[in-house]
Amino acid sequence: MITVTASAVNKIRKMLSDNNEPALRLGIVGGGCSGLSYKFKYDKQARPTDNVLEVDGVTLFVDPKSMTYLDGMVLDYEETLLEQAFRFKNPNAQKSCGCGRSFQVS
C-alpha cells in the first residue's frame, strides 16, 4: 500500500487538471545516482496487472514490479521558500541520494 498525503493529492490533482489527464503513473526505473529512480508519467488507463490507487478523487497506477519497491511508501509534497518537490518516504530504501529522487535496496 502507498500512502498519499493531502498535499501530494492536491498537487497531483492540479497537475492532472492543468494537463487534461485522467491519471498519473508512479513507478521506478533503473538509474539515478543510487541505482533506482522514481518516475511520474501521465497515463490514460490502467494496464491489466496494475495496482490502481484512488485517493480523494486522484487516480494513480503502479505496475507490480514498482509496487514491490514502493509498498509502504508515503508520497508527500512540500513547498518551501527554496523548493517545491515531491518527497518519497520509502521504507524499502536502504540508501538514498542527497536529492531524494533515487534510492538503493539491498
pTM for the model: 0.83
Give residue limits of the domains in the chain. Answer: 3-104
Query: In the structure, what pLDDT confidence band is assigned to residue 105 with cuts at 50, 70 and 90?
Result: low
The strand order across the sheet containing 95-96 reads 51-55, 58-62, 23-30, 36-43, 102-104, 95-96
Q: How many CB atoms lie under 10 A from the CB of residue 63?
A: 17
Distance CA(82)–CA(98), nearest Å, equals: 16
pLDDT, one tens digit per residue, over 44-93 is 999 999 999 999 999 999 999 999 989 999 999 999 888 898 988 988 87
Question: Hey, CA dihedral for 7, 58, 14, 69, is it positive or negative?
Answer: positive
Query: Rg for the chain (alpha carbons), in Å?
Result: 13
- Does the domain at residues 3-104 carry the CATH identifier 2.60.300.12? yes
